[in-house]
Amino acid sequence: MTAVQAFENLCEVKISPWIRAMRRVFYCGEWLQSHTLHIHMLAAPDFLGFTNIIEMATQHAAVVRRGLRLQTLGNDLIELFGTRSVHPVGVQVGGFYTAPAVTDVANIVERLQAAKQEADDLVRWTASLSLPQEEQVFVSVALRHPTEYPMNEGRIVSSAGLDIDCHEYPAHFREHQVPHSTALHALLQDKPYLVGPLARINLNHDRLPVELRELLTRCGFSFPSQNMFHSIVARAAECWLAIDEALRLLQDYASPSQAAITWQARAGTCMMATEAPRGLLWHHYDLDAAGRVQTARIVPPTSQNQARIEEDLRYSFENLDLNQSDDALRLHGETVIRNYDPCISCATHFLQLEVQRD
Amino acid sequence: MTESCHKISPPSHDQNQQSLIRVIGIGSSHGVDQVGWLVCDRLQATVNGENVDWKWCRTPTQLPQLIQDCAAVVIIDAILSEHSTGQVICLAWPLQQNHYQSVCSSHAINVIEALQLAETLEQLPSHTYLLGLTVTSRDENATSVVDNAIPQIEHELTRIVDRVAEHSSCDL
């Protein structure tokens, strides 16, 4: 979507209100699917003392079933527009390849309505988890939109006062190589920063629906928060938002006259930023006159969080009683890293720990 | 490669969902990882069965929801095994401990763990089978691997369908 929108900006494609709304629904599906998977399969077992979701399911079957239902709903929202739920292919420059049938949307609307109570329950449940109280100093970075909770439009803002257009990204954010890693690290004014659900809510809590804000308050949560362990609650809140927003946008669905706008390719440079489930995603392209990509640069959220993750690990271990077994220390490290929901392949048992004890 | 056209007839005495056999191909659009999807594409074109349902799945995390409301599920995926390329391994649930080695998954949980989760949640069909198509390298040509293995996969699927039908008859 980020690439498509970058190309549309370059080619001055004016998408219809229908396309804009349905792209937002598409993002709702992405967030719901990604967040529910992370909450139930990766993060929650940590906070409940289980090794994995299978163990957790022996004592919290209803919770796990609810998580799987919501994840499936997210997948089906994506598939409604993307043809398939993983690496969806339904989006094109100018709109979508097809528009979903009214009957298919009606089915999803019914499921979204039924999911509202489950979304409430999910927020309450994550807020009831025993989460470490560990405040840190960090800068949050996310998109901000004049009126909406940001998904695929907005300016790039930070909790340190940054407020820029996506074209100004390279002037403020710097990617560089570090000797100990094959991953590039990204810095904002030479410092690590946070992207992702917690950063988004920190910078956009006033854009949450009133009902959600009141629910969070009743659960004893207020944002902004400088506690990374509150990320699980931020994800649950965004699941609530995704269901509510998708319902709002699909409630009066009607098939459009066109699922896509025709457009003309042109040469030039284009950039775009959107909010992937894991955080701010920025793209840069150079195109030739035929619309072929000559150069591309993609800065994903997990890459942007690398420096912050390392900073967090250092802080966490410096403030932890290290008189514990290697396994306990490893689990603590993994739990800290999982707050950032790095790409799934990194989020399961992956950490190699070397402990030097005097 | 000659395509065969087999009529594999699952039990047709019961039209409701509980007689449904669901075949799920796990894979992606990349390299040899396409195997599960390609097998489903080929079988759907050649297998003639009213009560056979076909699904294409990208990650094992989707399995617990996909395998509900059916009498039997057959999961098809590429596997690494000590056998030669293209060899088809058919395993019936519950698996024996020595039938598999837990491998790290790039998708939160692997196929075995997804089925264990479904079993814990009492969502596992009474007949669950894994059809593994052996690959020995990520650089292998998925289409060639599938082309050579299709006759054996059809044979295994026929055996599974017959077994499910036999059990369904005994349940009546």
- Residue bearing tokens 């800290």: A336
Is the pLDDT at A192 greater than 80? The verdict is yes
Q: Do A64 and B108 touch (CB under 8 A)?
A: no
Distance CA A128, CA A236 (A): 12
Band of residue B12 on the pLDDT scale cut at 50, 70, 90? very low
Measured between CA atoms, how close is A333 to chain B, in angstroms? 17
- Option in A53, A58, A350 nearest B109 (CB): A53
Mean pLDDT in residue range A62-72: 96
Torsion of CA A77, A79, A82, A86, to 10 degrees: 110
Band of residue B122 on the pLDDT scale cut at 50, 70, 90? very high
Amino acid type, A78: I
Judge whether A38 and A235 are in contact, CB under 8 Å.
Answer: yes
A225-273, pLDDT tens digit by residue? 999 999 999 999 999 999 999 999 999 999 999 999 999 999 999 999 9
Q: What distance, in Å, lies between the first and last C-alpha atoms of chain B?
A: 42
pLDDT for position A349: 53
Band of residue A85 on the pLDDT scale cut at 50, 70, 90? low
- Option in B105, B108, B121 nearest A61 (CB): B121
Measured between CA atoms, how close is A55 to chain B, in angstroms? 8
What is the SS3 assignment for A185?
A: strand
Is the pLDDT at B1 greater than 90? The verdict is no
- Option in A37, A54, A347 nearest B116 (CB): A54
Q: CB-based burial of residue A147 (10 Å sphere; 0-12 exposed, 13-18 middle, 19+ buried)?
A: exposed
- Option in B107, B116, B121 nearest A65 (CB): B121
- Residue bearing tokens 């931020």: A234
pLDDT for position A63: 97
With contacts defined as CB-CB under 8 Å, which chain A residues touch B56?
A: 84
With contacts defined as CB-CB under 8 Å, which chain B residues touch A53?
A: 109, 117
Judge whether A309 and A286 are in contact, CB under 8 Å.
Answer: no
With contacts defined as CB-CB under 8 Å, which chain B residues touch A350?
A: 104
Measured between CA atoms, how close is B48 to chain A, in angstroms? 25
Q: Do B62 and A69 touch (CB under 8 A)?
A: no
Q: Which of B121, B122, B123, B124 to mutate to test the interface with A (most CBs of A within 10 A)?
A: B121
Q: What is the ipTM of this complex?
A: 0.85
Distance CA A344, CA A114 (A): 29
Is the pLDDT at B128 greater than 60? The verdict is yes
| Stretch among A157-161, B120-124, B141-145 having the lowest mean pLDDT | B141-145
A332-349, pLDDT tens digit by residue? 998 999 999 886 544 445
Judge whether A32 and A76 are in contact, CB under 8 Å.
Answer: no
B63-119, pLDDT tens digit by residue? 999 998 899 999 999 887 777 888 898 989 998 765 555 443 444 688 999 999 999
Judge whether A200 and A238 are in contact, CB under 8 Å.
Answer: yes
Q: CB-based burial of residue A219 (10 Å sphere; 0-12 exposed, 13-18 middle, 19+ buried)?
A: middle
Band of residue A301 on the pLDDT scale cut at 50, 70, 90? very high
Band of residue A55 on the pLDDT scale cut at 50, 70, 90? very high
pLDDT for position B108: 61
With contacts defined as CB-CB under 8 Å, which chain A residues touch B106?
A: 344-345
Closest CA to B133 of B65, B52, B75, B73: B75
pLDDT for position A314: 92
pLDDT for position B7: 39
Q: Do B120 and A54 touch (CB under 8 A)?
A: yes
Mean pLDDT in residue range A80-88: 72
Under an 8 Å CB criterion, which residues of A touch B?
A: 37, 41-42, 52-54, 57-58, 61, 64-65, 68-69, 71-72, 75, 84-87, 344-345, 347-350
A–B: how many Cβ contacts below 8 A?
57
Residue B62 tokens read as: 């989707």
- Residue bearing tokens 């499910």: B164
Closest CA to B99 of B89, B114, B84: B89
With contacts defined as CB-CB under 8 Å, which chain A residues touch B64?
A: 68
pLDDT for position A90: 87
Torsion of CA A227, A232, A236, A242, to 10 degrees: 90
pLDDT for position B170: 57
Global pTM? 0.89
* A356 vs A310: which has the higher pLDDT: A310
Q: What is the DSSP letter of A124?
A: H
Measured between CA atoms, how close is A348 to chain B, in angstroms? 6
Is the pLDDT at A59 greater than 50? The verdict is yes
pLDDT for position A228: 97
What is the SS3 assignment for A155?
A: strand
Distance CA B56, CA B36 (A): 8
Mean pLDDT in residue range B135-159: 88
Q: Do B62 and A53 touch (CB under 8 A)?
A: no
CA distance to A58, A80, A168, A290, B11, per residue, from A50 (Å):
10, 35, 44, 54, 42
Q: Do B61 and A85 touch (CB under 8 A)?
A: no
Mean pLDDT in residue range A210-234: 97
| Stretch among A93-107, A201-215, B45-59, B69-83 having the lowest mean pLDDT | B45-59
Q: Which of A70, A348, A350, A352 to mutate to test the interface with B (most CBs of B within 10 A)?
A: A348
Judge whether A346 and A181 are in contact, CB under 8 Å.
Answer: no
With contacts defined as CB-CB under 8 Å, which chain A residues touch B117?
A: 53-54, 57, 64
Q: Which of B120, B122, B123 to mutate to test the interface with A (most CBs of A within 10 A)?
A: B120
Mean pLDDT in residue range B27-40: 87
- Option in A52, A57, A349 nearest B121 (CB): A57
